[in-house]
Chains A and B, each alone.
Chain A
Amino acid sequence: MTTTTTTPLWEVFIRPRSGLPHKHCGSVHAADAELAVQAARDVYTRRGESVSIWVVPSAAIVASDPNDKDQLFEPTASKIYRHPTFYDIPDEVGHM
C-alpha cells in the first residue's frame, strides 16, 4: 500500500436533540476538518441520531491520567455534605 501520510484522527461529538449537550460517540480519520464532519455524518448519524456534530483533532484533547484516578476523584466520595440528603429537615416543613 502506498499511503503517503497518516490521516489525522478526529474525535466526534454529536448532539442528539437541541437542548441536549454534545456527547462523544467515536472517532474518524480525515485529512481536514471539513472531511471529518462529512465522515462523521456518514459513520455516526445514519438513523437520525444527531442534529449537530462537533469534530476535534484527537491530538488536541488533554486527558487526566488514569493513574491519578484515585487522587483526583476519590476525595469527593467522602464529602457527603455536598448532597442535599445530608441535611435533616423536619417533614412538617414540606418539600425543600
Chain B
Amino acid sequence: MYTQGLNSKDDKPAGPEDTARLGRFQAIVDAEDKIEPNDWMPESYRKTLVRQISQHAHSEIIGMQPEGNWITRAPSLRRKAALLAKIQDEAGHGLYLYAAAETLGISREELYEQLLSGRAKYSSIFNYPTPTWADIGAIGWLVDGAAIMNQIPLCRCSFGPYARAMIRICKEESFHQRQGYEIMLTLCRGTPEQKAMAQDALNRWWWPVLMMFGPSDKESLHSADSSKWKIKRFSNDDLRQKFVDATVPQGHFLGLTFPDPALAYNEATQHWEYGEIDWSEFKRVITGDGPMNKERMARRRATEADGEWVREAAAVYAAKRKARQAAAKVAAE
C-alpha cells in the first residue's frame, strides 16, 4: 500500500532480559490493548513502525503532486474547491502520520531527510502521471479506494498513535473516494469523448492500483511479525481481493471495462478472479525507475529548499520575541 517498501528484513536476537518484557508486551497486544509511546517495545517493532508510518506519511505528501497538477485546470469552481480540499487533506494526513512516527523517537528533520535523500520509499502509485482530468477521477475512485481498504484495519493497529491517526484519516478519506467516483460518473454520462477519457484513465490506473497492495503473500517478508504484533491484520493478497471484489461492480456501473482479459467472476468462491500482475514493473517503479519518480523527488526537494527562508525567518522572529519578553521581564522586576 503506502508502505510497499517494507520488503526487507533485519533480525537481532533478543537478550535474556528482553524475554520477560517481550512476554508482557505480547500479552498487551494479544489482549487487543494498545501500546503507547512510553511503553517498552521490542526494537524491531519500533523499527517496523517507524518505517511503515513514515513511508505512509511520505506517500501522503508526494501524493499531493499528481493531483496538484490539475488544480488550475479543474473544469468548474465546484471541482476546484473539492480538489483543493482533498489535497489539503493529504497534507494533513501526512502531518498526522509524521507526528505518530515521531512518538517512536525519530525527529521530523530525520524523516524529511530520509525522504529527500531518496533513502525512504513512498507508494509506487504516485510515480504515474496525470495527463487528463479523468485521472483525477480515477485517483479518487481507485487510489483512495485502495487506500481505504488498507487503512480501515490499521485503525485497530496495536500502536496507539498510529491507530488514532488512521481513525482521523479514514473519516476524511471517504469524501475523497466519492468525489473521484462522481467525476468518473459525470464523464461516463457525458460525450463519447469524455467516456473514452474515463476508460483511458481506468486502463492506465488499474494495474498500478492493484500493485499498491504490495507483493503477493508468497513474497512478503514482513507479514509474519507484523500480524503477530497486530500491525497488519490482513495479508496483501486478501486486501487486494477485497478491493477487486468491491471495485469491479462499480466499474461496470460506469459502463467501463477493465484492462484484464482474465477478469472473471467465480460463482463458487463468490470472488472476482484477476490476471497475473506484472511484478517487474512494480519493482522498477518502487526502486526509483517509474515514469515520474525523478520529477516527484525534484519537485519535493525544490519545495523544501524554497521554503527554507520562511522557516528561518520564523525561527529568528521567535528567538527575537523570546529575548524581548525576557528583557521586559527583567526590566519589570
Q: Which residues of A contact B (CB under 8 A)?
A: 1-7, 9, 26-32, 35, 42-44, 46-47, 63, 65-66
Contacts and interface: CB of A to CB of B under 8 A. Distances in A.
A1 B116 contact: yes
Given A7-B108, A9-B102, A46 B311 contact: no
B314 A43 contact: no
B309 to A, nearest CB: 10
A5 B95 CA distance: 19
Given A7-B314, A26-B99, A65-B38, 19 more contacts: A1-B116, A3-B311, A4-B315, A5-B315, A7-B108, A7-B315, A27-B99, A28-B95, A31-B311, A32-B317, A32-B318, A32-B321, A43-B92, A43-B96, A44-B92, A46-B85, A46-B88, A63-B38, A66-B36
Interface of B: 36, 38-39, 85, 88-89, 92, 95-96, 99, 102, 107-109, 112-113, 116, 165, 172, 304, 308, 311-312, 314-315, 317-318, 321-322
A28 B315 CA distance: 15
Given A26-B99, A63-B38, A66-B39, A2 B92 contact: no
Given A1-B113, A31-B315, A6 B99 contact: no
B312 A4 contact: yes
Q: Is the interface of B mostly helix, strand, loop or mixed?
A: helix
A31 B75 CA distance: 38
Contacts of B109: 1, 3, 6
Contacts of B314: 7, 30-32, 35
Contacts of A44: 92
A93 to B, nearest CB: 40
A5 B315 CA distance: 8
30 contacts: A1-B304, A2-B308, A3-B109, A3-B308, A3-B311, A4-B312, A6-B108, A7-B108, A7-B311, A7-B314, A26-B96, A27-B102, A28-B99, A29-B108, A30-B314, A31-B314, A31-B315, A31-B318, A32-B314, A32-B317, A32-B322, A43-B92, A43-B95, A44-B92, A46-B88, A46-B92, A65-B38, A66-B36, A66-B38, A66-B39
A28 B98 CA distance: 10
Contacts of A43: 92, 95-96
A1 B315 contact: no
B324 to A, nearest CB: 12
Nearest to B103: A27
